[in-house]
Amino acid sequence: MTASPKPEAQGGQAGIPDRGVLAIDKESGPTSHDVVAVLRRLLGVRRVGHCGTLDPLATGVLIVCFGRYTRLADWIAAGEKEYAATFHLGVDSETGDGEGPLLPREVDEPPGPGRVREALGAFTGPIDQVPPAHSAVKVSGVASYRLARRDRAVELKPRRVHIHRLDLVRYAYPLLEVNVVCSKGTYIRSLAADLGRDLGCGAYVDQLRRRRVGEVGLDSAHTVAAIGDSVAGGAGRLLIPPDRALSHLESVHLDGEAGRLFAHGGCVPAAAGKAQSPCAVYGPHGRLLGIARRGDDGSALVSQCVVGDADG
């Protein structure tokens, strides 16, 4: 872990830094964009963005960046995800969740626990997964769910994702509770539909709660209401240290001169590492400078994103 960063300059509302990372415990109902819009107003900051969409019906950890840290969104979103999910068996859903339409199936005999465990095991590891038609995946520049709502045929290509763990927590047909640890880009709605297809009974996501993104979990998350209540007293105390949000990346520390070169977009020599891999770059006092990619031989840092300066 890196040292805690120095406080940033003041930004929008009094006591709010001009950049930061927040973990929101999203409630069911609002979209991720709804949460961003509310936070933009509460914080008095124009530049706010989320690090990975969470479905409207889902709850749990939604990481949000603001100010210059919005540039970090793609790298933060790359962290491993963990979900607690409840699948409803015996029913298909066009959306993959309870919004439906729901299509009950005739099931002569519900799958037993042994069959369910066997099926879950088949989805562990690297798998090819087709995103749901009702998703934010772009088709010719248009979100897939918009096309699906217009009753237009949507054909999405399979994507390689990785299910690190898929554990059965509780099963009493028709409800199946599982814990999922997976890579970025994994759709739990697709996992439920594919599992239901394999079991021959259909399935959709009845409940979904994201427990963590990388090392940022529910213990660090706050409701939007709590963020609003804390603004007057200085919401800066609720911020997530950037090194924690980026803990899945290699950390590189630069001294003052090298840090200044990096902060100005220069290519900086560094100790050898994995070629082409992304790194979180820190300067003096543990202050985050930005994201770099190692060069072809792994011995130089090429700036990808700059969010701080070495002298600040």
**Domain extents for the chain?**
20-79+215-245, 81-213, 250-306
**Does the reported pTM lie above 0.85?**
yes
Q: What is the CATH number of domain 81-213?
A: 3.30.2350.10
The answer to whether domain 20-79+215-245 and domain 250-306 are alike in fold is no
What fold, for 20-79+215-245? Pseudouridine synthase (3.30.2350)
Q: Which residues are catalytic?
A: 55
Q: Could you please report the per-residue DSSP string of 72-99?
A: GHHHHHTS-EEEEEEEEETEEESSSBTT
Q: Give SS3 for 222.
A: strand
Q: Decide: 250 and 279 in contact? Cβ < 8 Å.
A: yes
pLDDT, averaged across the chain: 86
| Least confident piece of the model among 84-93, 183-192, 268-277, 279-288 | 268-277
**How confident is the model over 131-156, as a mean pLDDT?**
55
Fold of 250-306: 2.30.130
Nearest-10 crossing angle of helices 113-122, 188-199: 130
Tell me, what DSSP letter sits at residue 144? Answer: H
